[in-house]
A and B are shown apart, each in its own frame.
Chain A
Amino acid sequence: MDQKHKSNLIITCLCLIIVFVSLLTMYDNFSFHTYSTKTYYDYFLTLNHQSFSLQDYELYKDQSNYHCGDGNLVLGKIDSLVDGQNIDVIIQMNKKYQIHYPLQYLNGGSYALENKKDLSNLNEINHVQLIIKDEKQKTVYKHALKLKQVEKLTCSSKTFKVENACVSDDFMRLGYLTSTDHSLLKKYPNISLEYRYLKSNKLNDKNDKNYVVFKKINGKTKEIVNKKIYQVYNHDLDQGSLKKKKLSVVIILSKDHSKKSYVFKLNFTKENGGFNE
Protein backbone atom coordinates (compact mmCIF):
# COMPACT_ATOMS: atom_id res chain seq x y z
CA MET A 1 0.00 0.00 0.00
CA ASP A 2 1.54 3.34 -1.03
CA GLN A 3 1.78 6.46 1.13
CA LYS A 4 -1.26 8.12 -0.42
CA HIS A 5 -3.46 5.08 0.28
CA LYS A 6 -2.14 4.88 3.83
CA SER A 7 -2.95 8.51 4.59
CA ASN A 8 -6.41 8.06 3.01
CA LEU A 9 -6.93 4.99 5.15
CA ILE A 10 -6.00 6.81 8.36
CA ILE A 11 -8.24 9.79 7.59
CA THR A 12 -11.17 7.53 6.65
CA CYS A 13 -10.70 5.44 9.80
CA LEU A 14 -10.62 8.54 12.00
CA CYS A 15 -13.76 9.98 10.43
CA LEU A 16 -15.44 6.59 10.66
CA ILE A 17 -14.68 6.35 14.37
CA ILE A 18 -16.08 9.86 14.97
CA VAL A 19 -19.29 9.06 13.07
CA PHE A 20 -19.58 5.66 14.73
CA VAL A 21 -19.32 7.16 18.21
CA SER A 22 -21.94 9.79 17.24
CA LEU A 23 -24.22 7.01 15.99
CA LEU A 24 -23.90 5.16 19.26
CA THR A 25 -24.49 8.18 21.46
CA MET A 26 -27.38 9.51 19.40
CA TYR A 27 -29.24 6.23 19.01
CA ASP A 28 -31.32 6.60 22.17
CA ASN A 29 -32.59 10.00 21.11
CA PHE A 30 -33.22 8.84 17.59
CA SER A 31 -35.26 5.80 18.63
CA PHE A 32 -37.09 7.84 21.27
CA HIS A 33 -38.30 10.36 18.71
CA THR A 34 -38.70 8.00 15.75
CA TYR A 35 -40.41 4.88 17.04
CA SER A 36 -43.46 6.25 18.75
CA THR A 37 -46.86 4.85 19.39
CA LYS A 38 -49.09 4.10 16.45
CA THR A 39 -52.77 4.40 17.20
CA TYR A 40 -54.99 2.04 15.26
CA TYR A 41 -58.20 3.56 16.49
CA ASP A 42 -59.19 6.02 19.15
CA TYR A 43 -62.79 6.92 19.83
CA PHE A 44 -65.11 7.98 22.60
CA LEU A 45 -68.67 6.82 22.42
CA THR A 46 -71.54 8.63 24.05
CA LEU A 47 -75.26 8.17 24.31
CA ASN A 48 -77.93 10.48 25.60
CA HIS A 49 -81.31 9.16 24.73
CA GLN A 50 -84.38 9.35 26.95
CA SER A 51 -83.09 8.20 30.32
CA PHE A 52 -80.33 6.06 28.83
CA SER A 53 -76.84 7.45 28.88
CA LEU A 54 -73.32 6.31 28.15
CA GLN A 55 -70.49 8.60 29.12
CA ASP A 56 -67.05 8.57 27.55
CA TYR A 57 -66.83 4.96 26.60
CA GLU A 58 -63.24 4.69 25.46
CA LEU A 59 -62.24 2.54 22.53
CA TYR A 60 -58.58 2.77 21.86
CA LYS A 61 -55.76 0.64 20.55
CA ASP A 62 -52.10 1.08 19.71
CA GLN A 63 -49.26 -1.40 19.22
CA SER A 64 -48.96 -2.37 22.85
CA ASN A 65 -52.08 -1.10 24.52
CA TYR A 66 -55.71 -1.91 24.14
CA HIS A 67 -58.36 -0.18 26.12
CA CYS A 68 -62.07 -0.49 25.96
CA GLY A 69 -64.59 0.56 28.50
CA ASP A 70 -64.24 2.72 31.58
CA GLY A 71 -67.43 4.17 30.28
CA ASN A 72 -70.38 4.63 32.52
CA LEU A 73 -73.71 3.25 31.37
CA VAL A 74 -77.00 4.32 32.92
CA LEU A 75 -80.04 2.28 31.95
CA GLY A 76 -83.48 3.78 31.55
CA LYS A 77 -86.91 2.24 31.66
CA ILE A 78 -87.61 -0.75 29.44
CA ASP A 79 -91.20 -1.91 29.74
CA SER A 80 -90.58 -5.55 28.94
CA LEU A 81 -87.93 -5.97 31.64
CA VAL A 82 -88.16 -6.21 35.40
CA ASP A 83 -85.44 -5.33 37.89
CA GLY A 84 -82.96 -8.15 38.50
CA GLN A 85 -83.50 -9.77 35.11
CA ASN A 86 -80.38 -10.89 33.22
CA ILE A 87 -79.67 -8.85 30.13
CA ASP A 88 -76.99 -8.74 27.50
CA VAL A 89 -75.72 -5.26 26.72
CA ILE A 90 -73.95 -5.19 23.37
CA ILE A 91 -71.79 -2.52 21.82
CA GLN A 92 -71.91 -3.28 18.12
CA MET A 93 -69.42 -1.77 15.69
CA ASN A 94 -69.53 -1.71 11.90
CA LYS A 95 -72.63 -3.99 12.09
CA LYS A 96 -70.25 -6.89 12.62
CA TYR A 97 -68.12 -6.68 15.74
CA GLN A 98 -69.75 -7.00 19.10
CA ILE A 99 -68.64 -6.55 22.68
CA HIS A 100 -70.93 -8.22 25.18
CA TYR A 101 -71.58 -7.14 28.74
CA PRO A 102 -73.77 -9.55 30.72
CA LEU A 103 -75.58 -7.42 33.35
CA GLN A 104 -78.56 -7.51 35.63
CA TYR A 105 -81.20 -5.01 34.66
CA LEU A 106 -82.03 -2.24 37.07
CA ASN A 107 -84.12 0.76 36.03
CA GLY A 108 -81.87 3.79 36.55
CA GLY A 109 -78.92 1.52 37.38
CA SER A 110 -75.40 2.71 36.69
CA TYR A 111 -72.76 0.31 35.40
CA ALA A 112 -69.03 0.69 34.80
CA LEU A 113 -68.27 -1.14 31.59
CA GLU A 114 -64.96 -2.80 31.13
CA ASN A 115 -63.78 -5.21 28.49
CA LYS A 116 -60.46 -6.84 27.69
CA LYS A 117 -61.36 -8.43 24.38
CA ASP A 118 -59.03 -7.28 21.67
CA LEU A 119 -60.40 -5.83 18.47
CA SER A 120 -57.07 -5.93 16.66
CA ASN A 121 -58.58 -6.68 13.26
CA LEU A 122 -60.55 -3.47 13.36
CA ASN A 123 -58.91 -0.48 11.72
CA GLU A 124 -61.78 1.91 11.48
CA ILE A 125 -64.94 2.26 13.46
CA ASN A 126 -68.19 3.63 12.18
CA HIS A 127 -71.85 3.13 12.94
CA VAL A 128 -71.84 2.02 16.56
CA GLN A 129 -74.98 0.87 18.31
CA LEU A 130 -75.98 0.01 21.83
CA ILE A 131 -78.17 -3.08 21.82
CA ILE A 132 -79.85 -4.61 24.84
CA LYS A 133 -81.17 -8.15 24.64
CA ASP A 134 -83.20 -10.01 27.20
CA GLU A 135 -82.68 -13.59 28.39
CA LYS A 136 -84.38 -14.94 25.27
CA GLN A 137 -81.98 -12.92 23.09
CA LYS A 138 -84.81 -10.67 21.97
CA THR A 139 -83.75 -7.10 21.27
CA VAL A 140 -85.46 -4.80 23.76
CA TYR A 141 -83.46 -1.64 23.12
CA LYS A 142 -81.38 -0.36 20.24
CA HIS A 143 -79.88 3.06 19.68
CA ALA A 144 -76.98 4.54 17.73
CA LEU A 145 -74.03 5.87 19.74
CA LYS A 146 -72.36 9.13 19.01
CA LEU A 147 -68.69 8.90 18.03
CA LYS A 148 -66.87 11.67 19.77
CA GLN A 149 -64.13 13.37 17.83
CA VAL A 150 -60.79 13.45 19.60
CA GLU A 151 -57.73 15.39 18.59
CA LYS A 152 -54.40 13.80 19.23
CA LEU A 153 -51.88 15.82 21.15
CA THR A 154 -48.13 15.64 21.12
CA CYS A 155 -45.50 17.33 23.19
CA SER A 156 -41.83 16.61 23.50
CA SER A 157 -38.45 17.96 24.43
CA LYS A 158 -35.15 16.32 23.61
CA THR A 159 -35.45 13.62 26.26
CA PHE A 160 -39.05 13.84 27.48
CA LYS A 161 -42.27 13.12 25.65
CA VAL A 162 -45.94 12.76 26.48
CA GLU A 163 -47.47 10.02 24.36
CA ASN A 164 -51.02 9.01 23.68
CA ALA A 165 -52.66 12.21 24.86
CA CYS A 166 -55.84 13.40 23.21
CA VAL A 167 -58.49 16.01 23.80
CA SER A 168 -62.12 16.65 22.99
CA ASP A 169 -64.36 19.51 24.09
CA ASP A 170 -64.94 18.13 27.56
CA PHE A 171 -62.41 15.38 27.97
CA MET A 172 -58.68 14.85 27.96
CA ARG A 173 -56.70 11.67 28.05
CA LEU A 174 -53.55 12.79 29.81
CA GLY A 175 -51.18 10.37 28.12
CA TYR A 176 -48.04 8.97 29.65
CA LEU A 177 -44.65 10.51 30.15
CA THR A 178 -41.65 8.78 28.60
CA SER A 179 -38.01 9.71 28.84
CA THR A 180 -34.55 8.54 27.83
CA ASP A 181 -32.77 10.59 30.48
CA HIS A 182 -32.31 7.76 32.97
CA SER A 183 -29.65 9.51 35.05
CA LEU A 184 -32.02 12.43 35.70
CA LEU A 185 -34.84 10.04 36.60
CA LYS A 186 -32.58 8.23 39.04
CA LYS A 187 -31.43 11.49 40.58
CA TYR A 188 -34.99 12.66 41.30
CA PRO A 189 -37.13 9.88 42.77
CA ASN A 190 -40.32 11.99 43.03
CA ILE A 191 -42.33 13.50 40.24
CA SER A 192 -45.29 15.78 39.97
CA LEU A 193 -47.18 16.50 36.75
CA GLU A 194 -49.38 19.57 36.59
CA TYR A 195 -51.69 19.68 33.59
CA ARG A 196 -52.91 23.18 32.93
CA TYR A 197 -54.56 25.44 30.39
CA LEU A 198 -54.21 29.13 29.65
CA LYS A 199 -57.21 31.06 31.04
CA SER A 200 -57.55 32.95 27.80
CA ASN A 201 -55.56 32.42 24.63
CA LYS A 202 -54.93 36.18 24.49
CA LEU A 203 -53.05 36.18 27.81
CA ASN A 204 -49.29 35.97 28.09
CA ASP A 205 -48.35 32.30 28.09
CA LYS A 206 -45.05 32.99 29.84
CA ASN A 207 -46.79 34.05 33.02
CA ASP A 208 -47.66 31.08 35.25
CA LYS A 209 -50.46 33.05 36.92
CA ASN A 210 -52.44 32.98 33.69
CA TYR A 211 -52.88 29.25 33.88
CA VAL A 212 -55.49 27.02 35.49
CA VAL A 213 -54.09 23.74 36.78
CA PHE A 214 -56.82 21.16 36.16
CA LYS A 215 -55.06 17.96 37.09
CA LYS A 216 -52.15 17.07 39.34
CA ILE A 217 -50.42 13.72 39.40
CA ASN A 218 -47.89 13.04 42.14
CA GLY A 219 -45.88 9.93 42.68
CA LYS A 220 -42.63 8.08 42.37
CA THR A 221 -40.67 8.72 39.21
CA LYS A 222 -40.07 5.02 38.54
CA GLU A 223 -43.79 4.28 38.86
CA ILE A 224 -44.93 7.07 36.53
CA VAL A 225 -42.28 7.68 33.87
CA ASN A 226 -41.97 5.13 31.05
CA LYS A 227 -44.99 3.22 32.35
CA LYS A 228 -47.88 3.01 29.96
CA ILE A 229 -50.42 4.06 32.55
CA TYR A 230 -52.54 7.07 31.86
CA GLN A 231 -55.31 9.02 33.50
CA VAL A 232 -58.22 10.98 32.14
CA TYR A 233 -59.78 14.32 32.96
CA ASN A 234 -63.41 15.30 32.47
CA HIS A 235 -63.83 18.97 31.82
CA ASP A 236 -66.77 21.17 32.72
CA LEU A 237 -68.05 22.65 29.45
CA ASP A 238 -69.17 25.83 31.26
CA GLN A 239 -65.52 26.82 31.31
CA GLY A 240 -65.28 26.57 27.54
CA SER A 241 -64.17 23.89 25.16
CA LEU A 242 -60.98 22.21 26.33
CA LYS A 243 -59.68 21.53 22.86
CA LYS A 244 -59.67 25.23 22.02
CA LYS A 245 -57.42 26.03 24.98
CA LYS A 246 -53.64 26.17 25.07
CA LEU A 247 -52.63 23.11 27.04
CA SER A 248 -49.34 22.38 28.71
CA VAL A 249 -47.89 20.22 31.42
CA VAL A 250 -45.40 21.28 34.07
CA ILE A 251 -43.09 18.51 35.16
CA ILE A 252 -41.51 18.83 38.58
CA LEU A 253 -38.81 16.34 39.43
CA SER A 254 -37.70 16.44 43.03
CA LYS A 255 -35.66 14.60 45.61
CA ASP A 256 -38.14 15.57 48.26
CA HIS A 257 -41.79 16.57 47.77
CA SER A 258 -41.26 19.80 49.65
CA LYS A 259 -38.24 20.91 47.65
CA LYS A 260 -38.64 21.71 43.96
CA SER A 261 -35.50 20.69 42.17
CA TYR A 262 -35.94 20.35 38.46
CA VAL A 263 -38.89 22.01 36.78
CA PHE A 264 -39.74 22.33 33.13
CA LYS A 265 -42.82 22.57 30.97
CA LEU A 266 -43.96 20.94 27.78
CA ASN A 267 -46.54 22.52 25.51
CA PHE A 268 -49.14 20.35 23.87
CA THR A 269 -49.65 20.77 20.15
CA LYS A 270 -52.23 19.19 17.91
CA GLU A 271 -50.93 16.36 15.85
CA ASN A 272 -51.52 16.78 12.14
CA GLY A 273 -50.81 14.24 9.45
CA GLY A 274 -48.53 11.36 10.30
CA PHE A 275 -49.61 7.80 10.76
CA ASN A 276 -52.34 8.41 13.26
CA GLU A 277 -54.73 10.14 10.95
Chain B
Amino acid sequence: MNNERYLKLKKDFIVLYLARNGIMTFLITLCSFGFDLSKYYQIKFIEAIPYLFSNNIFTFMYFCLVWIFNYLLFELFKILSDGYDESHHHTLKFMYHEHNYSISWMMYVVMLIILILIQVVDLPTLFHLDAYLMFGFMVLRSLKQIYKKRL
Protein backbone atom coordinates (compact mmCIF):
# COMPACT_ATOMS: atom_id res chain seq x y z
CA MET B 1 0.00 0.00 0.00
CA ASN B 2 2.80 2.35 1.02
CA ASN B 3 4.76 1.34 -2.02
CA GLU B 4 1.82 2.25 -4.29
CA ARG B 5 1.51 5.64 -2.66
CA TYR B 6 5.23 6.16 -3.04
CA LEU B 7 5.08 5.27 -6.74
CA LYS B 8 2.16 7.65 -7.26
CA LEU B 9 4.01 10.43 -5.49
CA LYS B 10 7.10 9.70 -7.55
CA LYS B 11 5.03 9.82 -10.75
CA ASP B 12 3.50 13.15 -9.71
CA PHE B 13 6.90 14.51 -8.93
CA ILE B 14 8.24 13.40 -12.32
CA VAL B 15 5.35 15.15 -14.06
CA LEU B 16 6.11 18.32 -12.10
CA TYR B 17 9.81 17.96 -12.84
CA LEU B 18 9.18 17.56 -16.57
CA ALA B 19 6.93 20.61 -16.54
CA ARG B 20 9.32 22.68 -14.37
CA ASN B 21 10.26 25.13 -17.11
CA GLY B 22 6.61 25.62 -18.04
CA ILE B 23 5.70 26.18 -14.38
CA MET B 24 8.58 28.60 -13.78
CA THR B 25 7.87 30.63 -16.94
CA PHE B 26 4.19 30.73 -15.90
CA LEU B 27 5.15 32.09 -12.48
CA ILE B 28 7.50 34.64 -14.06
CA THR B 29 4.74 35.84 -16.39
CA LEU B 30 2.28 35.95 -13.50
CA CYS B 31 4.69 38.02 -11.39
CA SER B 32 5.45 40.42 -14.27
CA PHE B 33 1.78 41.03 -15.02
CA GLY B 34 0.83 41.13 -11.34
CA PHE B 35 3.48 43.71 -10.41
CA ASP B 36 2.79 45.78 -13.50
CA LEU B 37 -0.94 45.94 -12.84
CA SER B 38 -0.51 46.51 -9.12
CA LYS B 39 1.80 49.44 -9.93
CA TYR B 40 -0.56 50.89 -12.52
CA TYR B 41 -3.72 50.62 -10.44
CA GLN B 42 -1.97 51.19 -7.09
CA ILE B 43 -3.34 48.02 -5.60
CA LYS B 44 -1.84 44.99 -3.89
CA PHE B 45 -0.16 42.33 -5.99
CA ILE B 46 -2.62 39.70 -4.84
CA GLU B 47 -5.57 41.88 -5.92
CA ALA B 48 -4.14 42.24 -9.41
CA ILE B 49 -4.05 38.48 -10.08
CA PRO B 50 -7.84 37.94 -10.50
CA TYR B 51 -7.90 40.91 -12.87
CA LEU B 52 -5.60 39.01 -15.24
CA PHE B 53 -8.03 36.17 -15.66
CA SER B 54 -11.41 37.82 -15.29
CA ASN B 55 -11.08 41.28 -16.83
CA ASN B 56 -11.41 40.48 -20.50
CA ILE B 57 -10.26 38.03 -23.14
CA PHE B 58 -7.58 40.39 -24.50
CA THR B 59 -5.72 40.58 -21.19
CA PHE B 60 -5.91 36.84 -20.68
CA MET B 61 -4.84 36.03 -24.25
CA TYR B 62 -1.88 38.36 -24.02
CA PHE B 63 -0.88 36.79 -20.74
CA CYS B 64 -0.90 33.34 -22.40
CA LEU B 65 1.08 34.68 -25.34
CA VAL B 66 3.76 36.19 -23.10
CA TRP B 67 3.94 32.91 -21.20
CA ILE B 68 4.50 30.95 -24.45
CA PHE B 69 7.06 33.54 -25.51
CA ASN B 70 8.93 33.19 -22.22
CA TYR B 71 8.85 29.42 -22.50
CA LEU B 72 10.21 29.46 -26.06
CA LEU B 73 12.86 32.03 -25.11
CA PHE B 74 14.01 29.77 -22.30
CA GLU B 75 14.12 26.76 -24.62
CA LEU B 76 16.20 28.80 -27.07
CA PHE B 77 18.53 29.78 -24.27
CA LYS B 78 18.90 26.13 -23.24
CA ILE B 79 19.75 24.99 -26.76
CA LEU B 80 22.22 27.80 -27.31
CA SER B 81 23.93 27.50 -23.94
CA ASP B 82 24.22 23.70 -24.19
CA GLY B 83 25.64 24.01 -27.71
CA TYR B 84 28.04 26.70 -26.53
CA ASP B 85 29.18 24.63 -23.55
CA GLU B 86 30.01 21.74 -25.86
CA SER B 87 32.15 23.97 -28.06
CA HIS B 88 34.48 24.75 -25.07
CA HIS B 89 35.20 28.27 -26.33
CA HIS B 90 35.90 31.15 -23.93
CA THR B 91 35.80 29.02 -20.83
CA LEU B 92 37.08 29.90 -17.43
CA LYS B 93 38.31 26.87 -15.51
CA PHE B 94 38.99 26.77 -11.82
CA MET B 95 39.15 24.37 -8.91
CA TYR B 96 37.09 24.66 -5.77
CA HIS B 97 36.72 22.10 -2.97
CA GLU B 98 38.39 19.38 -5.04
CA HIS B 99 36.09 19.91 -8.01
CA ASN B 100 36.90 21.33 -11.39
CA TYR B 101 34.41 23.96 -12.59
CA SER B 102 34.16 25.35 -16.07
CA ILE B 103 32.30 28.57 -16.89
CA SER B 104 31.55 29.76 -20.41
CA TRP B 105 31.94 33.43 -19.54
CA MET B 106 31.19 34.77 -23.01
CA MET B 107 27.54 33.73 -22.60
CA TYR B 108 27.19 35.92 -19.51
CA VAL B 109 28.78 38.86 -21.30
CA VAL B 110 26.28 38.52 -24.16
CA MET B 111 23.41 38.24 -21.64
CA LEU B 112 24.62 41.33 -19.81
CA ILE B 113 24.80 43.32 -23.07
CA ILE B 114 21.24 42.25 -23.98
CA LEU B 115 20.05 43.17 -20.48
CA ILE B 116 21.63 46.65 -20.76
CA LEU B 117 20.04 47.08 -24.18
CA ILE B 118 16.61 46.16 -22.74
CA GLN B 119 17.18 48.64 -19.93
CA VAL B 120 18.04 51.42 -22.38
CA VAL B 121 15.20 50.74 -24.84
CA ASP B 122 11.94 52.44 -23.90
CA LEU B 123 9.76 49.38 -23.32
CA PRO B 124 6.57 49.16 -21.27
CA THR B 125 7.19 48.31 -17.60
CA LEU B 126 5.64 44.89 -18.10
CA PHE B 127 8.39 43.82 -20.51
CA HIS B 128 11.15 45.26 -18.35
CA LEU B 129 9.92 43.23 -15.39
CA ASP B 130 9.51 40.13 -17.50
CA ALA B 131 13.01 40.48 -18.98
CA TYR B 132 14.66 40.87 -15.55
CA LEU B 133 12.87 37.83 -14.16
CA MET B 134 13.64 35.76 -17.25
CA PHE B 135 17.33 36.69 -17.10
CA GLY B 136 17.36 35.76 -13.42
CA PHE B 137 15.88 32.38 -14.28
CA MET B 138 18.40 31.85 -17.08
CA VAL B 139 21.32 32.66 -14.76
CA LEU B 140 19.96 30.20 -12.19
CA ARG B 141 19.78 27.53 -14.86
CA SER B 142 23.35 28.15 -15.98
CA LEU B 143 24.56 28.02 -12.37
CA LYS B 144 22.82 24.68 -12.05
CA GLN B 145 24.56 23.49 -15.22
CA ILE B 146 27.97 24.60 -13.90
CA TYR B 147 27.34 22.63 -10.72
CA LYS B 148 26.05 19.63 -12.67
CA LYS B 149 28.99 19.50 -15.07
CA ARG B 150 31.73 19.92 -12.48
CA LEU B 151 34.38 17.25 -12.49
Residues of A that sit less than 8 Å from B by CB? 1, 5, 8-9, 12-13, 15-16, 19-20, 22-23, 26-27, 29-35, 38, 156, 158, 273-275
Asked if B79 lies at the interface with its beta carbon under 8 angstroms from chain A, I say yes
User: In the complex the two chains form, what is the Cα distance from A56 to B104 in whole Å?
Assistant: 69
Q: A19 touching B56 by the CB < 8 A rule?
A: no
Asked if B105 lies at the interface with its beta carbon under 8 angstroms from chain A, I say no
Which A residues are in CB contact (< 8 Å) with B55?
Answer: 33-34, 274
Q: B42 touching A34 by the CB < 8 A rule?
A: no
User: In the complex the two chains form, what is the Cα distance from A27 to B82 in whole Å?
Assistant: 32
Which B residues are in CB contact (< 8 Å) with A27?
Answer: 62, 124
Q: A34 touching B58 by the CB < 8 A rule?
A: yes
User: In the complex the two chains form, what is the Cα distance from A20 to B59 in whole Å?
Assistant: 16
Which B residues are in CB contact (< 8 Å) with A12?
Answer: 72, 75-76, 79
User: In the complex the two chains form, what is the Cα distance from A32 to B58 in whole Å?
Assistant: 9
User: In the complex the two chains form, what is the Cα distance from A156 to B40 in whole Å?
Assistant: 21
User: In the complex the two chains form, what is the Cα distance from A275 to B50 in whole Å?
Assistant: 11
A33 CB, min distance to chain B CBs, angstroms: 4
What 1/0 mask marks residues of chain B from 68 to 87 whose CB sits below 8 Å from any chain A CB? Answer: 11001101100110110011
The chain A residue with its CB closest to the CB of B72 is A16
Q: Which of B68-112 contact A (CB under 8 A)?
A: 68-69, 72-73, 75-76, 79-80, 82-83, 86-87
Q: Is the interface of A mostly helix, strand, loop or mixed?
A: helix
Q: A20 touching B83 by the CB < 8 A rule?
A: no
Which A residues are in CB contact (< 8 Å) with B86?
Answer: 1
The number of chain B residues touching the other chain, given as a range, is 20 to 34
For A29, give its contact among B51, B58, B76, B82 (CB under 8 Å). B58
Q: A16 touching B73 by the CB < 8 A rule?
A: yes
- Excluding A9-B80, A23-B66, 10 further A-B contacts by CB distance (< 8 Å) are A9-B76, A16-B69, A26-B58, A26-B65, A30-B61, A30-B62, A33-B56, A33-B58, A34-B37, A34-B55
Which B residues are in CB contact (< 8 Å) with A33?
Answer: 55-56, 58-59
For B76, give its contact among A1, A16, A38, A273 (CB under 8 Å). A16
A141 CB, min distance to chain B CBs, angstroms: 38
User: In the complex the two chains form, what is the Cα distance from A9 to B81 in whole Å?
Assistant: 11
Asked if B6 lies at the interface with its beta carbon under 8 angstroms from chain A, I say no
A163 CB, min distance to chain B CBs, angstroms: 14
Which B residues are in CB contact (< 8 Å) with A8?
Answer: 75, 79
User: In the complex the two chains form, what is the Cα distance from A3 to B146 in whole Å?
Assistant: 24
The chain B residue with its CB closest to the CB of A33 is B58
Q: B58 touching A30 by the CB < 8 A rule?
A: yes
What 1/0 mask marks residues of chain B from 35 to 64 whose CB sits below 8 Å from any chain A CB? Answer: 001001111000100010011101101100
Which B residues are in CB contact (< 8 Å) with A5?
Answer: 79, 82-83
A121 CB, min distance to chain B CBs, angstroms: 13
